[in-house]
């Protein structure tokens, strides 16, 4: 009794399992996932990605932003649902492969020499030839013809007849399997890329060495320069870089767009250039007398270097700079809103009579917005020179190698799948009065028209 119940549970469990299995191996699931992936991808090209909430609200309105935010439409390709879809695709792929593999392997591997002439006549391409000599001669002829067509041949002499099985291009069967496994490999590589790969953008200033924790060494841009076309367009830009490992300069290379540097698996790509947004070479400060409005001095300050102003008891120091000044009222932090020179501002330490009397931010676009109460002078940021940085993309991505392996085998799989056809021919030779009957029939997995031509030519060669 107990065993009976047990079996029942087992079948029911198997019922659920096989339903799950059927679900994940169904072509319907593949079609739905493909459709959703395509729709999601398209939405990501139509809605701009990675903007700030304010920008979405300005472009689409509050109501739409609610949906954009809810469905992560501002970051489609990294959203949870896109990852789920990709995972479903991978699962579907794996289950389908496991389901189809035995059939494919059988078609690839099995040499079929156990059949009757009735079976031969069931093929779409089949014919019977009356060959005017004995069975052995007929077999010799068949083998010659098929060898000429580059077939691999198996023959078997039976008591009453001769069986011949011929096949070529059977590797073509494996193309689709190789292709699908390749896609799996590429997906794994992509997962590795996003899990352990690292990629970031860094501005480098000439002469500054920067520690690269991912490789435990230092790099330095010794020099950065731009070449121009005659019409003024940018032709190319270069960074002369050196790698410093263990305190020693290991090597130097000039990189440019399309010609990166690689050291210890870390790659450095020349990707852009621009003006610094958080530092200065020089700040030009105009000091005027509050009462008379007379210019007291035009001073050039080096960044973060105190300077005595001749003829006054002033000492000035430009301690900070932002190219696009912004203030976050929540965190009470000052930050650069962008890398553009939209709202340049410098922080100025003002010492009068040896005492720090104020440390205001002064704005290039809004001179004298906040006069210093304790001082008899006004301080104006009349100009500045910000250093140029060389923008480098730094990446270390072990996943990329798997992606290339997968890409390579994918191409191989596609090639053999599309251009190598598995053609099989079954032949039975039966005795007839002073001659023999050759039953010949064939199958191809692709390129039916080409195979029909080949069959005609084989039959015509008798």
User: Is residue 301 within the footprint of another protein (CB under 8 A)?
Assistant: no
User: Is residue 394 within the footprint of another protein (CB under 8 A)?
Assistant: yes
Near another protein by CB under 8 A, which window of 127-135, 212-220, 247-255, 406-414? 406-414
User: Is residue 269 within the footprint of another protein (CB under 8 A)?
Assistant: yes
Contact letters for another protein, residues 164-203 (x by CB under 8 A): ------------x-------------x--------x----
User: Is residue 24 within the footprint of another protein (CB under 8 A)?
Assistant: no
Q: Which of 291, 342, 340, 345 is nearest to 318 (CA)?
A: 345
Q: Measure the CA–CA gap between 20 and 22, rounded to whole angstroms.
A: 5
Near another protein by CB under 8 A, which window of 41-49, 113-121, 324-332, 428-436? 41-49
User: Is residue 403 within the footprint of another protein (CB under 8 A)?
Assistant: yes
Cβ within 8 Å of residue 168, ≥6 positions away: 149, 150, 151, 152, 422, 423
Give the nearer residue to another protein in terms of CB position, either 269 or 439. Answer: 269
Shortest distance in whole angstroms from residue 196 CB to another protein: 15
Give the nearer residue to another protein in terms of CB position, either 9 or 31. Answer: 31
Pick one of 36, 104, 358, 414: the residue that binds another protein (CB under 8 A). 414
Q: Return the bridge partners of 299, or none.
A: 285
Shortest distance in whole angstroms from residue 278 CB to another protein: 23
Give the nearer residue to another protein in terms of CB position, either 68 or 345. Answer: 68
User: Is residue 235 within the footprint of another protein (CB under 8 A)?
Assistant: yes
Near another protein by CB under 8 A, which window of 251-259, 303-311, 338-346, 374-382? 251-259
Residues 433-452 that bind another protein (CB under 8 A): 446, 448-449
Shortest distance in whole angstroms from residue 219 CB to another protein: 14
User: Is residue 28 within the footprint of another protein (CB under 8 A)?
Assistant: no
Q: Which long-range contacts (CB under 8 A, 24 or more apart) does 414-417 make?
A: 414/175, 414/179, 415/175, 416/171, 416/172, 416/174, 416/175, 416/178, 417/172, 417/175, 417/176, 417/178, 417/179
User: Is residue 233 within the footprint of another protein (CB under 8 A)?
Assistant: yes
User: Is residue 128 within the footprint of another protein (CB under 8 A)?
Assistant: no
Q: For the chain, how big is the Rg over CA atoms in Å? A: 38
User: Is residue 409 within the footprint of another protein (CB under 8 A)?
Assistant: no
User: Is residue 391 within the footprint of another protein (CB under 8 A)?
Assistant: no
Near another protein by CB under 8 A, which window of 62-70, 151-159, 161-169, 229-237? 229-237
CA-based max dimension of the chain: 132
CB 362 within 8 A of CB 346: yes
Shortest distance in whole angstroms from residue 414 CB to another protein: 4
Near another protein by CB under 8 A, which window of 54-62, 105-113, 230-238, 304-312? 230-238
User: Is residue 85 within the footprint of another protein (CB under 8 A)?
Assistant: no
Shortest distance in whole angstroms from residue 46 CB to another protein: 8
User: Is residue 45 within the footprint of another protein (CB under 8 A)?
Assistant: yes
User: Is residue 51 within the footprint of another protein (CB under 8 A)?
Assistant: no
User: Is residue 121 within the footprint of another protein (CB under 8 A)?
Assistant: no
CB 173 within 8 A of CB 422: yes
User: Is residue 84 within the footprint of another protein (CB under 8 A)?
Assistant: no
Pick one of 26, 30, 134, 459: the residue that binds another protein (CB under 8 A). 30
Near another protein by CB under 8 A, which window of 119-127, 339-347, 402-410, 432-440? 402-410
**Cα angle at 420 between 417 and 422, to 5 degrees?**
95
**Residues of this chain that bind another protein (CB under 8 A):** 27, 30-31, 34, 37-38, 41-42, 44-46, 49, 76-77, 176, 190, 199, 229, 231, 233-237, 256-258, 260, 267, 269, 271, 393-395, 400, 403-404, 407, 410-411, 414-415, 418-419, 446, 448-449
């Amino acid at each position: 009794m107990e065993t009976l119940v047990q079996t029942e549970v087992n079948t029911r469990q198997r019922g659920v399992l096989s339903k799950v299995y059927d679900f994940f191996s169904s072509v319907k699931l593949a079609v739905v996932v493909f459709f959703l992936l395509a729709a999601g991808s398209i939405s990501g090209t139509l809605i701009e990605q990675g903007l700030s909430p304010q920008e979405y609200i300005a472009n689409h309105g509050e109501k739409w932003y609610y949906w954009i935010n809810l469905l992560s439409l501002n970051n489609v390709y990294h959203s949870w649902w896109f990852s789920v879809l990709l995972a479903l695709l991978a699962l579907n792929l794996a289950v389908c492969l496991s389901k189809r593999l035995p059939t494919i392997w059988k078609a690839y591997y099995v040499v079929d020499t156990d059949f009757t002439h009735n079976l031969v006549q069931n093929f779409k391409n089949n014919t019977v030839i009356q060959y005017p000599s004995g069975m052995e001669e007929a077999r010799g002829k068949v083998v010659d013809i098929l060898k000429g067509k580059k077939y691999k041949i198996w023959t078997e002499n039976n008591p009453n007849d001769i069986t011949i099985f011929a096949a070529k291009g059977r590797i073509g069967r494996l193309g689709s399997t190789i292709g699908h496994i390749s896609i799996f490999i590429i997906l794994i590589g992509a997962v590795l890329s996003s899990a352990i790969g690292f990629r970031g953008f860094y501005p480098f200033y000439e002469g500054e060495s920067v520690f690269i924790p991912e490789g435990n060494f230092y790099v330095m841009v010794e020099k950065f320069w731009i070449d121009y076309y005659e019409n003024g367009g940018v032709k190319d830009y270069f960074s002369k870089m050196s790698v410093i490992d263990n305190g020693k300069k290991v090597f130097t290379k000039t990189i440019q767009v399309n010609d990166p540097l690689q050291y210890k698996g870390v790659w450095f790509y020349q990707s852009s250039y621009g003006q610094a947004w958080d530092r200065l070479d020089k700040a030009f400060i105009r000091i005027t007398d509050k009462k008379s409005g007379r210019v007291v001095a035009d001073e050039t300050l080096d960044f973060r270097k105190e300077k005595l102003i001749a003829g006054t008891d002033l000492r000035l120091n430009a301690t900070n700079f932002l190219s696009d000044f912004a203030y976050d009222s929540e965190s009470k932090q000052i930050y650069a809103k962008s890398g553009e020179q939209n709202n340049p501002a410098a922080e100025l330490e003002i010492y009068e009579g040896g005492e720090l009397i104020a440390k205001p931010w002064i704005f290039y676009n809004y001179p004298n917005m906040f006069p210093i109460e304790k001082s008899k002078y006004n301080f104006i940021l009349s100009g500045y020179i910000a250093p140029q940085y060389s923008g480098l993309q730094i990446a270390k991505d072990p996943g990329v190698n798997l992606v290339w392996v997968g890409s390579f085998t994918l191409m191989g799989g596609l090639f053999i799948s599309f251009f190598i056809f598995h053609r099989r021919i079954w032949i039975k030779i039966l005795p007839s009065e002073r001659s023999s009957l050759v039953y010949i029939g064939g199958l191809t997995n692709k390129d039916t028209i080409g195979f029909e031509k080949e069959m005609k030519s084989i039959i015509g060669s008798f």
